[in-house]
């Protein structure tokens, strides 16, 4: 009895990876993650949160297709249609109409829609908050660096002034010693 590590057929070695849109999406997210954490592209790093949103959407899409596919095949007949319909629900576009159509035959469907809207809105809201906070954090760090540079410059100027005064005092002291010795 032999057991295979791969339950399905092996992917094509040449370009098979790029035929799957989710693989391309993951590649972009990982590519964004290696961008330096400073500079104008730092905000792009927060887009890594999209992977969580993708997971939520796919799981909800599968659930919606299984739960509502026979009730409303126009909106939930297959996974692609379900994902598009759930995107509309997430953005608030016509979701009451979609929910009413489903709830005519499945009265408790409102629970699915409310939970999906809350979870997806929470994820999107957190994404935007992360982008804003990341941008503000970068600006704050830049301001702190500038302020530290100004303080270091002022301290260096004060130190130089003190050294100049000490040299002047030593010179006066040396003159006084020479006058006293003469």
pLDDT for 104-147, tens place per residue? Answer: 999 999 999 999 988 888 877 777 787 777 778 877 888 888 99
Assigned domain for 95 exists: yes
Answering whether pTM is above 0.75, one says no
**Cβ–Cβ under 8 Å, residues 153 and 65:** no
As for how many domains the chain has, the answer is 1
Helix axes 21-33, 50-68, angle to 10 degrees: 160
Assigned domain for 5 exists: no
- CA-to-CA distance for 47 and 40, rounded, in angstroms? 14
Tokens of 3: 């057991």
Assigned domain for 6 exists: no
pLDDT at 182: 74
Residue range of the domain that includes 47: 41-181
The count of other CB atoms within 10 Å of the CB of residue 123 is: 18
């Amino acid at each position: 009895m032999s057991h295979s590590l791969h339950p399905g057929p092996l992917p094509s070695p040449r370009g098979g990876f790029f035929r799957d849109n989710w693989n391309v999406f993951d590649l972009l997210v990982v590519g964004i993650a290696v961008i330096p954490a400073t500079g104008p592209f730092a905000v792009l790093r927060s887009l890594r949160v999209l992977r969580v949103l993708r997971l939520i959407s796919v799981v909800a899409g599968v659930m919606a297709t299984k739960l509502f596919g026979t009730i409303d095949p126009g909106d939930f007949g297959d996974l692609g249609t379900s994902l598009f319909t759930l995107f509309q629900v997430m953005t608030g576009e016509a979701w009451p109409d979609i929910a009413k159509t489903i709830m005519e035959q499945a009265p408790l469907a409102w629970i699915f829609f409310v939970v999906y809207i809350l979870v997806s809105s929470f994820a999107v809201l957190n994404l935007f908050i992360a982008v804003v906070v990341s941008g503000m954090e970068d600006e704050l760090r830049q301001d702190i660096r500038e302020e530290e540079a100004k303080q270091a410059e002022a301290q260096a100027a004060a130190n130089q002034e003190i050294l100049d005064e000490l040299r002047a005092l030593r010179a006066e002291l040396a003159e006084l010693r020479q006058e006293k010795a003469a």
